[in-house]
Amino acid sequence: MKRRNVKIIISVLLFGATIIMSGYDIKSGGYAVHAETLPVKTFVAELAAQFKKGGKVDYLMTDSIVFVFHSDNRCDGSTDGTVAKLSSKNLNSPIKMNVINDGQGWACEKKKASSYELTFDLRKRLSSWERFEVSGINTDKGTFYIEGEAGSDYMIVHYKKSENKYTVYKLEYRSEDPG
């Protein structure tokens, strides 16, 4: 009986040490802002939670990221743009990018393709989301989805692990016309 108690005590101590080493803050009931200590699922949950509350996410990202915008509209067609080296610190500010619209909507008369400068405000878009549901975590590819706006608007997050830290290196914002 004493040997079993010793095993339980050791297990509890090891569990407590694991929690402390992983950055869990008992007082706040969450993980501390030390991205290098977060396991994948915790990293994913932390990123979704920060997006949901409009918080800063740059500590969970590489210094610069690839930002991809895609919108599919039944009348206007597909609009696509990419910012190849966006500073992660600028993700909470409006993003200016050159986009191309193909004019090939399926519900309206076809239009000529066009290009223009789009100012995209991620923080503003996310503030209207009703939910922030994480799905499709693929640890082999290093991707997962954050779904919102009834599933028509979602993000594809690309992450990697380097130096014992998970970071986002590419973020895709997609808006699909559910028609």
Q: What is the pLDDT of residue 24?
A: 43
Q: For 90-141, what is each residue's pLDDT tens digit?
A: 998 999 999 999 999 989 999 999 999 999 999 999 999 989 999 999 999 9
pLDDT band, residue 2 (cuts 50/70/90): low
Query: Cβ distance 60 to 168 under 8 Å?
Result: yes
Residue range 56-101, pLDDT digits in tens:
999 999 999 999 999 999 999 999 999 999 999 999 899 999 999 9
Q: For the domain 37-176, what is the CATH code?
A: 3.10.450
Cα separations in angstroms, 160 against 40, 42, 60, 64: 10, 14, 11, 13
- The stretch 15-33 carries a mean pLDDT of 41
Q: Residue 69: what pLDDT?
A: 98
Long-range contacts from 27-34, C-beta under 8 angstroms, 24+ separation: 33/59
